[in-house]
Chains A and B, each alone.
With several copies, the nearest count.
Chain A
């Protein structure tokens, strides 16, 4: 299934602004991050800590709705979903 990934700020600089990933049906956020991390060490370091856990400060949106820490492991993505990843905000 096709998933659009958008990344912002430092995440954009490392993983790219926007891209279409082709993931197996039933994939969730960890699978998506794994696909991004497999490209190079810099991406892996940005997304996962030394224990292989998703880094604490990453913020996730699926179709422009925030996904909290507790739902990160359980949410299932669907064809056409837009997943955004970004660091803490600093506007205003």
Chain B
């Protein structure tokens, strides 16, 4: 399942949903708001294009790796330190594919999915430059 939401979500529920008799390993990446001297952040998205792009990335992962499931939830809107930003859950027969696919997906998200991050600090606000700008 691919979701972009303004609400908090539960990474544990994603792991639970990935349990399947053909699956031996589930790898989850949970991104949270780190305190880099900020007070809060704000995530903005081009929602229709982001959902489409997340679907492309999921399909790429499913075709490149021997995995059974990919689930992605990305939060948008105002977030505080420690809040969940994204959770990616990959279920696979064997752990190596689950690790590789999960890392592939988060790398691709940071390259191509239209989501932007604005950091608010005591001194002001700034848009975070992309890793691939």
Within 8 A of A (CB), among B30-48: 31, 43-46, 48
Check: B114 CB closer than 8 A to any chain A CB. Answer: yes
Determine if A91 and B133 form an interchain contact, defined as CB atoms under 8 angstroms apart: no
Query: Which of A59, A64, A92 is in CB contact (< 8 Å) with B85?
Result: A92
Check: A2 CB closer than 8 A to any chain B CB. Answer: no
Determine if B46 and A86 form an interchain contact, defined as CB atoms under 8 angstroms apart: yes
- The distance in angstroms between the C-alpha atoms of A88 and B115, with both chains bound, is 9
What sequence of 0s and 1s flags, for each residue 53-92 of chain A, a beta carbon within 8 Å of any chain B beta carbon?
Answer: 0000101010010000000000000000000101111111
Determine if B44 and A9 form an interchain contact, defined as CB atoms under 8 angstroms apart: yes
Q: What total of chain A residues lie within 8 Å of the partner, measured CB to CB?
A: 17
Query: Which of B49, B111, B127 is in CB contact (< 8 Å) with A87?
Result: B127
Determine if B116 and A90 form an interchain contact, defined as CB atoms under 8 angstroms apart: yes
Most buried by A among B49, B106, B133: B49
